[in-house]
Structure 1
Amino acid sequence: MITIENEFLSIQIKEKGAELAKIYNKIDSFDYLWSGDSQYWGRQAPVLFPIIGKLNQDAYTIEEKEYTMSQHGFARDFNFELVDQGENYAHFCLTDNEQTQMVYPFQFKLEINYTLEGKELAVQYKVKNLSETGTMPFALGAHPGFNVPLNDTGVFSDYNLTFEPALTNPIKVVEIDDGPFPFITGKNKEFALIKENVFGLDYKNFDNGLLILDEDVNTVTLSSPLSQNKITLEVSDFPYLTLWTLENKQAPFLCIEPFYGLPDQIGKIGDLSNKKGNCILDPLDTKKMQFSMTFE
């Protein structure tokens, strides 16, 4: 376990998956990050790469050759190399290997930098296509879960999300198929906020699974009028923002997830290079994206 900290926050990061394991408020003595209680959801903040969500039949094609890959890809299950570490930063790296090549036939480097400044934790991703000849399709998402309520103040339904720029009611969300897996239909639908620019947390909103917002969002803030604590995420590098908690369980957490990419559209096995939302990297090109979390 890797620890970075300052006078406000202590951050723990696992080398497996370069996954956040703790975001501890040293002043008020509580953890913002979900515990990973397997009674509900056994993960905490996995990195989703090189796919987001589930594939049709857990498979995809590249140049007419078929490969299999499990939900959300493999990055979350591999140990990352700790490249560099200081008191307030940690730099991790994963490169392709024999195991990744079996399910994802590309040469890549995925770097993740965590940097703590004051009450803000910045997370920067760098994805490099190491091939000199071929393009590389990929998706990348962050999947952090946060304890709700914060610091045991109030209950889940006391909390709201607000956005900048302000969202007009109703908002657009990606339509999810009614089947057992969260595939998309290829269309959007409208979702009603409780009032202009306020998404009120209500377990009923998640009975059918995740909500993928197809809106221009720069920041999203989780807060409650009952609590002095709040979390603000800056997510402008990511085209989609996803909200999720466990369906029909009233679990005490909410995931707020910046996505660069989408789950598969319901139907047949598809080509990864044509998948909606994916990033396509030219040979030897690098894609950088970042989000940050401010904890108050």
Structure 2
Amino acid sequence: MTVELKNDFITVKIAEQGAELISITGNDTSIEYIWQADKQYWGRHAPVLFPFVGRLKNDEYAYDHKTYKMGQHGFARDMLFTAASKSKTSVVLELGSSPETISKYPFNFRLRLHYILNNHQIKVIYDVYNPDENPLLFSIGGHPAFNVPLKNAYLNLENYQIEVAPNVERRQIPLVGPFSDIENAKSVKFNEPIKLSRETFKNDALIYELKQLETTVLLSTPEDDHGVSVTLNGADYVGIWSKYPENSPFVCIEPWWGVADNIKSTGNLSDKSNIYTLEKNKSFEGSYEITVF
């Protein structure tokens, strides 16, 4: 089923399957901002990444002397959430641990996704709670994809640019295949916008370390007045991605509290880069806002 939220400015749709944001439409302009999951390019809209961000080495991890298999970005994106509460402009979708999840992820958890409309903005809150005596280890993130172009069909990726604020020096994390190479991160500055092209994504995603500094990433074009900004509140990383070499008409701006396994990963979950640990009855909250114009 699909949940619809609406205010005077935007209409938003969220699928209960995966708690996935599948549409943001301007009420006055009828512009669809969210990528519509054309499988020719990429068959998702904005998946929730839990309990891991990115890929694990050999698609597996070890915990408490056992080895578990897990595909890229975890399982939440493929599971059915239930609506815990709903109003005209907000919804809370919930997923809890079950025998199915325990078989591949030996932790009890409660994951809630909050979607809240405010004018031209939707706020997304990740709420992870540990109901168990044992620690809960996890990472989490988002993967929202935005249409490029947004309005004028004659535009393409090369007409768009990315701006990152505040303008501070950050580390860019390279990828070796699907894995992070944190030891070879380089410092980058954002004095000028990043002019996008297909070659921008030749080595997969651009990954920047944020160190939980509030950061806004703006996707726009000088050719018209429409764009999207994503403000990340306390995230560890942001990933910016589109497919290569296909001429894919979307760009993802991804808030991450976690990252793919390091190329030197041991495979032990306790040693994983940017893994979060929650003790009994403790909660984690992370959030980001999408603003459309």
TM-score between both structures, scaled by the size of structure 2: 0.94
Structure 2 counterpart of 1:146:
146
Q: State the shift of 1:192 in Å.
A: 6.4
Q: State the shift of 1:189 in Å.
A: 3.3
**Higher deviation after alignment, 37-46 or 208-217:** 208-217
Kept in 2, the 8 Å contact 1:172–1:188? The answer is no
Distance 1:176 1:187 in 2: 11
- Secondary structure at the aligned position of 1:72 is classed as coil
- Secondary structure at the aligned position of 1:187 is classed as helix
Distance 1:281 1:106 in 2: 11
Structure 2 letter corresponding to 1:86: S
Structure 1 counterpart of 2:251:
254
Structure 2 counterpart of 1:28:
29
- Secondary structure at the aligned position of 2:287 is classed as strand
Structure 2 counterpart of 1:175:
174
Pair 1:137-2:137 in alignment: yes
- Secondary structure at the aligned position of 1:104 is classed as coil
Structure 2 counterpart of 1:157:
158
Distance 1:192 1:214 in 2: 10
Q: 1:235 aligns with which of 215, 225, 232?
A: 232
Kept in 2, the 8 Å contact 1:130–1:284? The answer is yes
Q: Identity of paired residues, percent?
A: 33
Pair 1:202-2:212 in alignment: no
Structure 2 letter corresponding to 1:257: E
Pair 1:70-2:71 in alignment: yes
Report Cα offsets for 1:177-197 as digits up to 9, x if no partner: 1xxx4111232433767x714
Kept in 2, the 8 Å contact 1:122–1:291? The answer is yes
Distance 1:267 1:239 in 2: 20
Pair 1:294-2:284 in alignment: no
Distance 1:42 1:11 in 2: 19
Kept in 1, the 8 Å contact 2:149–2:156? The answer is yes
Q: State the shift of 1:272 in Å.
A: 1.3
Report Cα offsets for 1:31-66 as digits up to 9, x if no partner: 000010000000010000000111111110112211
User: Structure 2 regions of 5+ residues with no counterpart?
Assistant: none
**Higher deviation after alignment, 85-94 or 197-206:** 197-206
**Higher deviation after alignment, 250-259 or 276-285:** 276-285
Structure 2 counterpart of 1:98:
99
Structure 1 letter corresponding to 2:62: T
Structure 2 letter corresponding to 1:175: P
Q: Provide closer, same or farther for how the CA distance between residues 269 and 102 of structure 1 changes in structure 2, counting only shifts above 3 A.
A: farther
- Secondary structure at the aligned position of 2:17 is classed as coil
Distance 2:29 2:117 in 1: 18
Distance 1:64 1:49 in 2: 22
Structure 1 counterpart of 2:208:
213
Q: State the shift of 1:149 in Å.
A: 1.4
Structure 2 counterpart of 1:54:
55
User: Aligned Cα RMSD in Å?
Assistant: 1.6
User: Structure 1 regions of 5+ residues with no counterpart?
Assistant: none
Distance 1:163 1:269 in 2: 33
Distance 2:159 2:265 in 1: 41
Kept in 2, the 8 Å contact 1:59–1:269? The answer is no
- Secondary structure at the aligned position of 2:158 is classed as helix
